[in-house]
Amino acid sequence: MIDTLERVPSRQTVFAVFVLIVFGTSAAEIIAEFADGEALGSMADDLSRFVLSAVVLGVFVFEYRVQQRALRELGGQLNKARGQLARLDTRSQELASQYRAVMQKQFDAWNLTASEQDVVIGMLKGLSFREIAQLRETREKTVRQQASAVYRKAGVASRNELAAWFFEDMLEPPPVREG
């Protein structure tokens, strides 16, 4: 996209130079012929090229100014969007920190060990027991035993119930469908 934008001014520049050459050449011919005493009627072809190139230059300048104004507006919108994104990123970090604090309170209420907490976080992230074991540099059997201990302490029967416990309150209930 940026490459395309960079090529457009080059094309516009070439076009503007061409029109300026036609404009300047026509003006020079008109002045030279007028100095030689020629009548305006005999200079009709030069006058028409001069007027046409003047109109094209006028349109070109107008379009260029419109594009520059639009570019400034887009730049302003981009800066505004960047600011909003930075605020959202900061806000999402704050929310993640708050949610992690809520999770920690629950971990404490369930009396989970640090290892069990790591297992819960891995499961909530969707990692398999094998992946959790690899990350924690332990055996998969150990992770399975820790997961069982977590289920018992949390009063849930499975990974799905555990995940639901943490995410249920954040999700709206599905809409009731009449059937």
| Whether the model pTM is above 0.85 | no
- Checking if the pLDDT of 49 tops 90, the result is no
Q: Answer for the pair 47, 40: CB distance below 8 angstroms, yes or no.
A: yes
Residue type at position 148: S
Residue 131 in any domain: the answer is yes
Rounded to an integer, the average pLDDT of 60-68 is: 86
Same structural domain for residues 16 and 81? yes
Asked whether residue 104 is assigned to any structural domain, the reply reads no
Q: Does a structural domain hold residue 98?
A: no
Q: How confident is the model at residue 2 (pLDDT cuts 50, 70, 90)?
A: very low
Task: Convert the pLDDT of each residue in 30-48 to its tens digit.
Answer: 888 878 888 777 778 877 8
Do both 83 and 117 map to the same domain?
A: no
Residues 10 and 55 in one domain: yes
What's the helix, strand, coil split of the chain in %, to 5?
85, 0, 15
| Domain range for 156 | 110-171
Among 44, 63, 93, which residue terminates a domain?
93
**Of 43-52, 69-78, 99-108, 154-163, the least confident:** 43-52
| 136 vs 114: CA distance, rounded Å | 11
Residues 161 and 115 in one domain: yes
Q: What percent of the chain has pLDDT over 90?
A: 31
Nearby residues of 16 by Cβ (< 8 Å), 6 or more positions away? 57, 60
For the cut 80, the answer to whether the pLDDT of residue 179 exceeds it is no
Looking at residue 154, its pLDDT comes to 93
Domain count, the chain: 2
In a domain, 164, yes or no: yes
Q: Is 147:128 a contact under the CB 8 Å cutoff?
A: no
Asked whether 130 and 140 are in contact (CB, 8 A), the reply is yes
pLDDT value, residue 39: 78
CATH of the domain at 154: 1.10.10.10
Of 36, 58, 93, which marks where a domain is finished?
93
Task: Specify the pLDDT at position 145.
Answer: 96
- Please report whether residue 119 resides in a domain: yes
Tell me: do 1 and 58 sit in the same domain.
Answer: yes
Q: What is the pLDDT of residues 138-175, one digit of tens each?
A: 999 999 999 999 999 999 999 999 998 888 766 666 67
Using the predicted structure, report yes or no on whether residue 4 has a pLDDT greater than 70: no
Torsion, Cα 109 111 115 119, to 10 degrees, reads -50
Q: Is residue 100 part of a domain?
A: no
